[in-house]
Amino acid sequence: MSGHSTYTPSNGFTRWIDERLPIIRLSYDSFVAYPTPRNLNYWWTFGGILSMMLMVQLLTGIVLVMHYTPNTLMAFTSVEHIMRDVNWGWLIRYMHANGASMFFIAVYIHILRGLYYGSYKAPREILWILGVVIFLLMMATAFMGYVLPWGQMSFWGATVITNLFSAIPVIGDPIVIWLWGGFSVDNPTLNRFFSLHYLLPFVIVGVVALHVWALHVVGQNNPTGVEIKSEQDTVPFTPYATLKDAFGMSAFLVVFCWFLFYTPNYMGHPDNYIPANPMVTPAHIVPEWYFLPFYAILRSIPDKLGGVIAMFGSIAVLFVLPWLDTSKVKSNAYRPLMKQFFWILVICGLGLGYLGSQPAEGGYVIASRILTAWYFLHFLVITPVLGLVEKPKPVPESITAAVLAKNAAH
């Protein structure tokens, strides 16, 4: 999609800047004149929403760091100090904590949109892989951030999750000791997690820049899955996509503010308001809600190493998805069978999330195993086989043809 620039400097100063550092030209070509498919729906606004939430997390995080103390004796107290004594500290902390949950809500919707409309297929394989890398970095950052308040769930969550690495043969135990900085989760662990939690968001910003760059090279996908063939298929990014993104962001902010001001602790865990105590184990150790599907997969395998492999494999399978899908049609809008299996996958993910929040006993374990098996079956068997045997609906010749046909139907 990268072509000849249409930017023309409007005065001598901008011409002088453009000749030495064409930053205005880059911004114009990327966010004003950039050709956007004319049939994008509101599911495409989540890219902009995620950019907004990343900025919220960065800004609130930088302020919180000014008042937080990464020490096991003072971490919990410093968080209470932020909440009680720092001007607007309660708001900044709640924005950061709830912002993480809203960030993951948006990224899950963004991923599901990509799955539904085939945004991982050629020529967007690198774009998709960079997105999965961002997802992994988000998970690592969020896990380390969950440890920082040094409440009961912070401490025991860190203990359980870092212990998983001990399942790796031969080198597992040394890795765990290296992560802990000793023989248990303690002050060195908290310091390391704090350092990485502060560093990784800037790594995410770098990978997001690559993600956007890759997007501008290959162009955006669209609900039909048909590539842009002429100027008639596109509209300028500004004002059309800009206004749509602005509306989507505003609607998302309303939901964010509802959680922020009315139920700020709804997506947290009450045990994290109890200071960490290595001598008292919580009755039921659970991670944050956005990790629950993967936690359910981990616990569904009776073998520790097998559980770790399954958990990481559930994300690794997304990296190879562009080559697992054998269908020549991108969008599930024209694949009636795949559309049904997509919604079954969504229900499977929600079910795993629920099971991850329940005790690992009885019927919950059996249900987790069934849903885990289905998750891998969907990607490793159903997706490749269905691409070969399914008969898709006729795909429009162009984006414009699809838009005109839709308007004629109304």
Which one has a higher pLDDT value, 334 or 1? 334
Give the CA distances from residue 400 to residues 1, 135, 312, in Å, rounded to whole numbers and listed in that order: 18, 33, 41
pLDDT tier at 30, thresholds 50, 70, 90: very high
**pLDDT, position 111:** 98
| DSSP element (H, E) containing 298 | helix 292-300
- Give which of 132, 146, 149, 145 is closest to 196, Cα–Cα: 145
Q: Which helix (H) or strand (E) holds 172?
A: helix 172-180
Three-state DSSP class for residue 383: helix
Residue owning tokens 């025991």: 156
One-letter identity of residue 401:
A
Task: Mention every residue, 6+ apart, whose C-beta is less than 8 A from residue 327.
Answer: 118, 335, 338, 386, 387, 388, 390, 392
Per-residue pLDDT at 1: 52
- Give dist(CA 309, CA 257) in Å, integer: 38
User: Residue 27: its pLDDT value, please?
Assistant: 94
Q: Which percentage of the chain shows pLDDT scores above 90? A: 97
d(CA 212, CA 356) in angstroms, rounded, equals: 33
Strand partners, 275: 151
> How much is the pLDDT for 3?
61
- 234 membership: H or E segment, kind and range: strand 234-236
pLDDT tens per residue across span 319-341: 999 999 999 999 999 999 999 99
pLDDT value of position 407? 80
**3-state DSSP call for residue 173?**
helix
pLDDT at 2 over 60: no
Q: What percent of the chain has pLDDT over 70?
A: 99
Q: Report the pLDDT averaged over residues 174-203.
A: 96
What is the spatial distance between Cα 189 and Cα 194, in angstroms, rounded to a whole number? 8
- Residue whose C-alpha is closest to residue 403's, from 247, 232, 221: 232
> How far is the C-alpha of 402 from the C-alpha of 38, rounded, in Å?
10
Tell me the mean pLDDT in the region 112-139. 98
Tell me the C-alpha to C-alpha distance, in Å, between residue 287 and each of 145, 154, 293: 12, 9, 10
Q: In this structure, what token pair is assigned to residue 235?
A: 């509209």
Strand partners, 36: 235
Q: What is the pLDDT of residue 408?
A: 81
What residue type is 382 in one-letter code? I
Rounded Cα distance, 252 and 163, in Å? 37
* Closest to 18 in 3D by CA, of 32, 6, 7, 30: 7
pTM above 0.85, yes or no: yes
What is the Cα–Cα distance from 334 to 225, expressed in whole angstroms?
A: 9
* Model confidence band, residue 268 (pLDDT cutoffs 50, 70, 90): very high
In the predicted model, is pLDDT for residue 410 greater than 80? no
Find the angle CA(7)-CA(9)-CA(15) to the nearest 5 degrees: 130
For residue 186, the 8-state DSSP code is S
Residue with tokens 């669209």: 222
d(CA 397, CA 233): 11
110: amino acid identity, one letter: H
Strand partners, 182: none
List of domains in the chain: 22-287 (1.20.810.10)
